[in-house]
């Protein structure tokens, strides 16, 4: 009987070990993705100041950053980058380093100075409250009506934004 109990305990431990290991990996990966989406707090504090201090600091770290986007009532407060296509920044941070969370990026077909009639900025809708996770709040008509404003800061000035539409698309489209 002791042998049977020992064998059953062994089988149970062998069966549970992969579950524990997978769970630990999921926690590790989640922390890694969250960290890759994080922006240095010193940059966030600079973007709230008048002037181009944030862009002076960003130029030391990134050749890709063209603007900073902040949308009222949300956690959206990130640099905006532009690449030569729309795939490059899907898994790269504003410095161009690999980051699962990616970046907020301007459609490569838009002008980098935002002179087009409409400019499209893409980003991941993260499940942890970062990046574009708060964009889903715009599904609610009341929230949409009360939070249509944002700020796009570029070297040389800030521009008020009016959010005119919300669309949710499948990532495979």
Number of domains in the chain: 1
71 in any annotated domain: yes
26 in any annotated domain: no
CATH code for the domain in which residue 110 is found:
2.40.260.10
102 in any annotated domain: yes
The domain of 126 spans 41-162
pTM of the model as a whole: 0.71
Distance CA 70, CA 48 (A): 10
What's residue 143's pLDDT? 92
110 in any annotated domain: yes
User: Do residues 133 and 75 lie in contact, with contact meaning Cβ atoms separated by under 8 Å?
Assistant: yes
The 10s digit of each residue's pLDDT in 82-124 is: 999 999 998 888 888 888 888 899 999 999 988 898 888 988 8
DSSP labels, 37-72: H---HHHHHHHTSSSSHHHHHHHHH-SSEEEEEEET
What's residue 77's pLDDT? 87
Band of residue 14 on the pLDDT scale cut at 50, 70, 90: confident
């Amino acid at each position: 009987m002791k042998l049977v109990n020992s064998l059953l305990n062994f089988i149970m431990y062998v069966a549970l070990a992969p579950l524990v290991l997978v769970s630990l990996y999921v926690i590790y990966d989640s922390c890694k993705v969250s960290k890759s989406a994080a922006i240095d707090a010193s940059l966030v504090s600079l973007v709230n100041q008048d002037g181009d201090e944030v862009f002076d600091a960003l130029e030391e770290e990134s050749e890709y950053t063209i603007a900073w986007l902040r949308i009222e009532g949300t956690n959206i407060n990130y640099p905006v980058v532009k690449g030569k296509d729309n795939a490059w920044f899907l898994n790269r941070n504003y410095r161009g380093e690999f980051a699962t969370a990616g970046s907020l990026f301007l459609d490569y077909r838009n002008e980098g100075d935002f002179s087009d009639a409409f400019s499209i900025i893409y980003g991941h809708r993260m499940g942890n409250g970062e990046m574009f996770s708060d964009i889903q709040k715009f599904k609610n008509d009341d929230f949409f009506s009360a939070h249509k404003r944002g700020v796009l800061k570029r070297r040389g000035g800030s521009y008020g934004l009016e959010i005119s539409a919300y669309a949710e698309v499948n990532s495979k489209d």
